[in-house]
Structure 1
Amino acid sequence: MELDTKYDHYDYPTTAPVAKPGHPGHLTDAQQAQVHQLRMMLESEGYTKRLDTLTLLRFLRARKFDVNLSKKMFVDCEKWRKTILYAGQPLKIDGRTIDLDEEISEWDQDGSFKRKVSKWYPQYYHKTDKDGRPVYIEQLGKIDLGAMKNEGIEYEHMLTNLAVEYEKMADPRLPACSRKAGHLLETSCTIMDFNGVGFSNARQVFGYIQEASGMSQNYYPERLGRMYLINTNWLFTGVWRMVRPLLDPVTVEKIHVLGGNYQKDLLAQIPAENLPKEFGGSCQCEGGCPLSNAGPWCDAEFAKPAWWEKKGGDAIENTPTEIGTGEGAAATTGTTAPEGAEATVPAPAIA
């Protein structure tokens, strides 16, 4: 895999552990050329952020290496990052429109939001599975949007928090896990606990899942490693039977619906000492696992500052190329591109 010195500033392993075509370190000549083509097309429109090889490969894999479709997905994602949408409208908190790149370093600095939300909707990263991936846990049956609203937590806060957590999984969590594992890790192991989900709260639970799934699918491609759906009941099973045929077979293969007899499956993938006791493991973090944030990303041996934590001379700023004139240039400079401006350099055709 060829790296680009302008954009590829990795300080962790960059080769995937399994030699699957299209995955880092296992590219064909044609796939390598498609990375260059996609980057050139995006540069020609003025984009300068997130043009590193690993990111572009995730978008290419998500669109079966169709460069034009990958470009559209990337551009749509960049637009969304500048103005997160909710119900088709710009998401606002306290009257301000959310720009994700600016929000990451400012969001919940004192941890007060997480402590409040954990009472009504525990959702947290906790240590790693046997493959070294971060484990993410959500307890959906405890969702109480009404109670959260009484504490000043609106739906907009929940979606912003979700986006920020996706960003923090990408950096610093996955890089720290990759350093510890000695190879590249790009995905998570997720546990979705449906204990307590019934007729009374099914609507708000599935409504939130729909929003979260849309965010993951559209803007964070190739991040799902394994997903375990536990304590599912007949209500969910009926929904799953309808939804499953609509999903990509590759995605379906990663999802395991386990019902109430899940402990053996979870322990086959997650070490007992890393799995919270309430799910069949032996971990009992001081202060509770949901608030511990335990994992390699908190270990000084493997943790390094994330890109959004770097300031001044430590931050890497990529500048637009001379040919950058499209929407990406407008996003970078905060100005509007000239009307009718188009890319001036054609992308090479890939046979």
Structure 2
Amino acid sequence: MAAAATGGMELDPKYDNYDYPIVSPNDQSGHPGHLTAEQQAQVHQLRLLLEAQGCTKRLDTLTLLRFLRARKFDVNLAMKMFVDTEAWRKETGLDDLVANWEYPEKEKIFEYYPQYYHKTDRDGRPVYIEALGNIDLTAMYKITSAERMLTNLAVEYERLADPRLPACSRKAGHLLETCCTIMDMKGVGISRAPQVYSYIKQASAMSQNYYPERLGRFYLLNAPWGFSTVWSIIKGWLDPVTVAKIHILGGSYQKELFQQVAPENLPKQFGGSCECPGGCGFSDMGPWREPEWYKPASWENKDGATPAPAADAAAPPAASATETTGITLEAPGAAAEEGAIAGQTATA
């Protein structure tokens, strides 16, 4: 790539093979295309240390920068985070799961807990939506298991990284690495809150430890009574950069939300005008479904991998889970601030 296309970043031909824009519109120091000489040297140092640890995958510049930013460019801390992530991936077999994962119980689970990507915000980011009001873990665990739910979450994170974000970057004309997350708390009463927060805690641990720097914007809708008091305490613990991304809204959220997401890109339940055939929650609509911007994901190239379905593909049939293979999460070490707020920092 020419210097203009890389923002002056030094790329490693062994690992950096991008087919989408790689300069971030965020011109803050440490973001792709906006590196100091010291930060560029820290990328090289981290890569060398990881190679010495036996790491061979995901050593591209953009990935290493995300881990470095998550640890304030402390190379040793970023190395530990990366090594812990690779160990988790190996233990769970995630690389193989991404290519072969099937989640036939999705439709039934969505009756209790819809989680889905749907189009983009005004900055071009994928919009990730969760609605927590109907969560009933007792009923859900009769359909699937906690391990399978977490595995599906991890797979969706992988599919966010490729092909969703690259497609959005191509359409936007600049690098996009983050999501706009909408979490709807409508219907989450006192009796249901412990179940909701229990699952979010597990999902949050995955986000903060293994998928750093994926939070672009976060909107918590229909915040329950008393949450504003809790938030006023929590935000004091967080980095101001993270706090600026998070918006806690009550029931009158549409005006502020529409400033970030155009109504035509929002499902009708949130005041938008979108009504995808078969339901927005199952459409997975976005640039990653548009032939002009989509390119096959790296994991699709594996033997036996199933290509991405067509945009009008029907939702998978509902079925009971019969296999128990999945991810059991044990969250290691210190966490990045983002995951303390959202189980999915999307998305997702």
Instruction: Map Cα deviations across residues 282-325 of structure 1 (whole Å, 9 max, x no partner).
Output: 1011111101100011111111111111136x9xxxxxxxxxxx
Cα pair 1:16 1:24 within 8 Å, conserved: yes
**Residue 29 (structure 2) aligned to one of 21, 32, 39:** 21
**Residue 179 (structure 1) aligned to one of 162, 170, 180:** 170
Give the secondary structure class of the aligned counterpart of 2:217: strand
- Count of aligned pairs: 296
CA distance in 1, matches of 2:50, 2:285: 37
Residue correspondence of structure 1 range 246-257 to structure 2 within 5 A: 246-257=237-248
**Residue 124 (structure 1) aligned to one of 105, 116, 119:** 116
Instruction: Map Cα deviations across residues 118-166 of structure 1 (whole Å, 9 max, x no partner).
Output: 1111000000000000000000112111121222x11111111111111
**Residue 33 (structure 1) aligned to one of 17, 31, 41:** 41
**Residue 223 (structure 1) aligned to one of 214, 217, 230:** 214
CA distance in 2, matches of 1:212, 1:150: 19
CA distance in 1, matches of 2:117, 2:195: 23
CA distance in 1, matches of 2:180, 2:113: 19
Q: Which residue of 1 aligns with 2:13?
A: 5
Q: Which residue of 2 aligns with 1:100?
A: 94
CA distance in 1, matches of 2:223, 2:135: 15
Q: Which residue of 2 aligns with 1:281?
A: 272
Using the TM superposition, give the Cα deviation of residue 235 of structure 1 relative to its aligned residue in structure 2, in angstroms.
Answer: 4.2
Using the TM superposition, give the Cα deviation of residue 246 of structure 1 relative to its aligned residue in structure 2, in angstroms.
Answer: 2.5
Q: Which residue of 2 aligns with 1:272?
A: 263
Q: Which residue of 2 aligns with 1:349?
A: none
CA distance in 1, matches of 2:45, 2:256: 42
Give the secondary structure class of the aligned counterpart of 2:285: coil
TM-score, normalization by structure 2: 0.83
Give the secondary structure class of the aligned counterpart of 1:195: coil
Uncovered stretches (5+) of structure 1, i.e. residues with no partner = 84-97, 315-351
CA distance in 2, matches of 1:241, 1:209: 19
Using the TM superposition, give the Cα deviation of residue 73 of structure 1 relative to its aligned residue in structure 2, in angstroms.
Answer: 0.8
Is 1:147 aligned with 2:142?
Answer: no
Residue correspondence of structure 1 range 136-215 to structure 2 within 5 A: 136-151=128-143, 153-215=144-206
Instruction: Map Cα deviations across residues 181-226 of structure 1 (whole Å, 9 max, x no partner).
Output: 0100000000000001011110010111111121111111110000
Cα pair 1:13 1:183 within 8 Å, conserved: yes
Give the secondary structure class of the aligned counterpart of 1:3: coil
Cα pair 1:139 1:193 within 8 Å, conserved: yes
CA distance in 2, matches of 1:160, 1:244: 29
Give the secondary structure class of the aligned counterpart of 2:77: helix
Q: Which residue of 1 aligns with 2:77?
A: 69
Q: Which has the larger radius of gyration?
A: 1
CA distance 1:80–1:235, change in 2 (3 Å): farther
TM-score, normalization by structure 1: 0.82
Cα pair 1:191 1:229 within 8 Å, conserved: yes
Cα pair 1:192 1:230 within 8 Å, conserved: yes
Q: Which residue of 2 aligns with 1:237?
A: 228
Identity %: 67
Cα pair 1:198 1:235 within 8 Å, conserved: no
CA distance in 2, matches of 1:280, 1:137: 14
Using the TM superposition, give the Cα deviation of residue 238 of structure 1 relative to its aligned residue in structure 2, in angstroms.
Answer: 4.1
Aligned-CA RMSD value:
1.4
CA distance in 2, matches of 1:138, 1:300: 27
The letter of the residue matching 2:242 is: T
Cα pair 2:129 2:182 within 8 Å, conserved: yes
Cα pair 2:23 2:174 within 8 Å, conserved: yes
Using the TM superposition, give the Cα deviation of residue 2 of structure 1 relative to its aligned residue in structure 2, in angstroms.
Answer: 0.8
CA distance in 2, matches of 1:284, 1:236: 31
CA distance in 2, matches of 1:236, 1:142: 19
The letter of the residue matching 2:164 is: R
CA distance in 2, matches of 1:223, 1:257: 19
CA distance in 2, matches of 1:238, 1:155: 30
Uncovered stretches (5+) of structure 2, i.e. residues with no partner = 1-8, 306-348
CA distance in 2, matches of 1:122, 1:239: 25
CA distance in 1, matches of 2:288, 2:249: 29
CA distance in 2, matches of 1:42, 1:253: 32
CA distance in 2, matches of 1:12, 1:213: 29
Q: Which residue of 2 aligns with 1:319?
A: none
Q: Which residue of 2 aligns with 1:44?
A: 52
Cα pair 2:99 2:302 within 8 Å, conserved: no
Give the secondary structure class of the aligned counterpart of 2:189: coil
